[in-house]
């Protein structure tokens, strides 16, 4: 059985037929060879027609069993394609509830601004944290612009800095409970992306901090790195005002 399965992985229908046919022929030959023993056990096989029928029956039976034991190569391909499709669909579903490697699932649905302001950042999704940052910059008079979702190229917000009279590209990372920090890779991506968005300056906002190497790279590329603390402090002030 193990040998059959091994061969089945590379067998087409024609190859299976070529494999099963000789075995069926051998079975038929064995019936002819042992016809005397068969007639002794079953007297009605004295009739030549019954014997021929038995020979054909045995040959077809053996052929069918052998053929069925060898899975079709096309079926293997279909099963692999179905498995790949299921895996892809599962990944898509997972991506709708997670943000780039976060270990804890977070809803990406966007709640109202008032709800986002009331909730701790630990329980809001990455999309809502981006919205919170947008509200922060808007309140500060920076005229924030959201980049197109899925095509931001490493930039989530673009704001106008009146002090430097220049556009600032802002990347926002909110990895829930992942213990993951912004690395050199993300800093370099932002440095490249700011040029694509025709921005002179760039800021990074992270809720989980930065590696030492990332901070050194940010200093070299003149990217300002901020924690979520300044956003949280502003949010708390807004809540006190509304009370």
pTM of the predicted protein model: 0.55
Dihedral sign, Cα of residue 95, residue 99, residue 101, residue 103: negative
Domain assignment present for residue 87? The answer is: no
Task: Give me the pLDDT at residue 11, please.
Answer: 63
Domain assignment present for residue 54? The answer is: yes
Domain assignment present for residue 214? The answer is: yes
Range of the domain at 58: 2-73
Check whether 240 has a pLDDT greater than 90: no
> Exposed, middle or buried by CB within 10 Å (0-12, 13-18, 19+), for 22?
exposed
pLDDT digits 0-9 by tens, 63-117: 677 667 766 655 555 556 666 665 555 555 444 444 444 434 445 568 999 899 9
Q: Are residues 120 and 212 located together in one domain of the fold?
A: yes
Q: Are residues 122 and 219 located together in one domain of the fold?
A: yes
pLDDT digits 0-9 by tens, 143-191: 898 887 665 568 999 998 888 889 999 999 998 766 789 999 999 999 9
Q: Quick one: what percent of the chain has pLDDT higher than 70?
A: 67
Q: Are residues 141 and 45 located together in one domain of the fold?
A: no
Domain assignment present for residue 140? The answer is: yes
Rounded-to-integer distance, Cα 230 and Cα 235, Å: 9
Domain assignment present for residue 103? The answer is: no
Q: Are residues 230 and 171 located together in one domain of the fold?
A: yes
Q: Are residues 66 and 139 located together in one domain of the fold?
A: no
Q: Are residues 41 and 154 located together in one domain of the fold?
A: no
Q: Are residues 171 and 220 located together in one domain of the fold?
A: yes
Nearest 5 degrees, angle CA 206-CA 160-CA 213? 30
Q: Are residues 142 and 64 located together in one domain of the fold?
A: no
Domain assignment present for residue 236? The answer is: yes
CATH number, residue 154: 3.40.1350.10
Task: Give me the pLDDT at residue 8, please.
Answer: 40
Domain assignment present for residue 22? The answer is: yes
> Exposed, middle or buried by CB within 10 Å (0-12, 13-18, 19+), for 101?
exposed
What's the structural domain count of the chain? 2
Q: Are residues 54 and 169 located together in one domain of the fold?
A: no
Check whether 225 has a pLDDT greater than 90: yes
What's the Cα-to-Cα distance from 227 to each of 199, 230, 233, rounded to whole Å?
21, 7, 11
Q: Are residues 124 and 237 located together in one domain of the fold?
A: yes
């Amino acid at each position: 059985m193990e040998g059959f399965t091994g061969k089945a992985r590379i067998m087409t229908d024609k190859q299976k037929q070529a494999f099963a046919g000789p075995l069926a022929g051998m079975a038929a030959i064995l019936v002819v060879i042992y016809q005397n023993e068969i007639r002794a056990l079953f007297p009605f096989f004295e009739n030549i027609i019954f014997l021929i029928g038995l020979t054909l029956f045995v040959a077809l039976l053996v052929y069918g069993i052998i053929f069925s034991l060898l899975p079709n190569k096309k079926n293997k391909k279909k099963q692999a394609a179905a498995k790949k499709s299921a895996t892809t669909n599962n990944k898509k579903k997972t991506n709708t509830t997670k943000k780039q490697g976060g270990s804890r699932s977070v809803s990406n649905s966007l709640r109202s601004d008032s709800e986002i302001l009331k909730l701790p950042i630990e329980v809001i999704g990455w999309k809502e944290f981006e919205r919170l940052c947008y509200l922060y910059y808007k309140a500060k008079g920076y005229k924030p612009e959201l980049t197109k979702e899925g095509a931001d190229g490493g930039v989530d917000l673009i704001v106008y800095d009146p002090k430097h009279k220049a556009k600032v590209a802002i990347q926002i990372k909110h990895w829930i409970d992942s213990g993951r920090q912004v690395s050199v890779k993300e800093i370099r991506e932002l440095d490249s992306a700011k040029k694509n968005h025709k921005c002179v300056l760039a800021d990074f906002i992270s809720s989980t901090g930065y590696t030492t190497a990332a901070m050194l790279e940010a200093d070299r590329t003149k990217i300002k790195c901020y924690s979520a603390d300044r956003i949280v402090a502003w949010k708390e002030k807004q809540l006190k005002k509304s009370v």
